């Protein structure tokens, strides 16, 4: 009997407590959870690992989640990788029509993320 290979899920948040929450909620999936505390660290991990899903905070210092998603999408290997934004802040950002979020080049879920 073949066992399915685990996928790598990259969790990106500058707050370690949130990363622990994500890990606690997602650990039952049995997949490889890889954590990064900054956009820069996330990029380094993306170069070293084959990542299937990126779950990231929107508000981070230096490189925010939107900027990080744009950088990730520029790499041919990650153009179709699922990117999920997580934020506790309601965003009212007006984005330009050519922005990846407006053109559909970046995935988004506006339903919110509510850990229990």
In a domain, 38, yes or no: yes
Q: Which of 114, 35, 46, 42 is nearest to 75 (CA)?
A: 46
In a domain, 80, yes or no: yes
Element housing 55 (H / E):
strand 53-57
CATH of the domain at 86: 3.40.50.2300
In a domain, 101, yes or no: no
Taking the C-alpha atoms of residue 41 and residue 28, their distance in angstroms, rounded to an integer, is 25
Give the pLDDT confidence of 39-50 residue by residue, as tens digits: 999 999 999 999
Domain count, the chain: 1
Q: What is the pTM of this model?
A: 0.75
CA 59 to centroid of chain Cα atoms: 12
Q: What phi and psi values does residue 56 have, to the nearest 5 degrees?
A: -135, 150
In a domain, 115, yes or no: no
Note down the domain range covering 60. Answer: 8-95
Give the pLDDT confidence of 12-27 residue by residue, as tens digits: 999 999 999 999 999 9
Place of tokens 């050519």: 98
In a domain, 2, yes or no: no
Residue ranges of the chain with pLDDT lower than 50? 102, 108-116
């Amino acid at each position: 009997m073949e066992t399915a290979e685990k996928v790598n899920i990259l969790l990106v948040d500058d707050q370690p407590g949130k990363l622990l929450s994500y890990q606690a909620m997602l650990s039952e999936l049995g997949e490889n959870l890889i954590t990064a505390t900054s956009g820069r660290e996330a990029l380094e991990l993306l170069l070293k690992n084959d990542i299937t899903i990126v779950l990231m905070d929107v508000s981070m210092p230096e490189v925010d989640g939107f900027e990080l998603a744009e950088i990730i999408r520029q790499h041919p290997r990650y153009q179709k990788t699922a990117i999920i934004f997580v934020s506790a802040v309601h965003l009212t950002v007006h984005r330009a029509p050519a922005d990846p979020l407006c053109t559909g080049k970046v995935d988004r879920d506006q339903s919110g993320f509510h850990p229990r």
